[in-house]
Chain A
Amino acid sequence: MAEAQLCAVKRAYLEYEEFANSKLCGRCLPCLVAAPLVFDLLNRLQKGRANKRELEELRFLAQGVVLTARCKFGQEALEKLGKSLEEAALEFEAHCEGNCPQHACPELIRYRIDPERCTQCDLCRALCPTGAIIGDPYVPYSTDNHPYFILAAKCNGCGVCVSACPENAIELV
Chain B
Amino acid sequence: MDAKKIELLAAQIRLETLRVIHSLGFGHVGGSMDLADLMAVLYGEEMRYDPKNPHWADRDWLVMSKGHAGPVVYATFGLMGFYPMEEAYTLNKPHTRFPSHTDRKLTPGVDLTTGSLGQGVSTAVGAAIGNKIDGRDNRVFCIVGDGEADEGQVWEAFHLAYAKKLDNIIFFIDKNGYQLDGSTEKILDHGDLAAKVSGFGLYTQEIDGHDVRAIYQAIENAKAKKGVPSCIVLDTIKAKGATFAEPKHEHSSQPSEEKWQEALAASEKALAALQNA
Mutual binders A and B: no
Q: Which residues of B pack against A, CB within 8 Å?
A: none
Q: Which residues of A pack against B, CB within 8 Å?
A: none
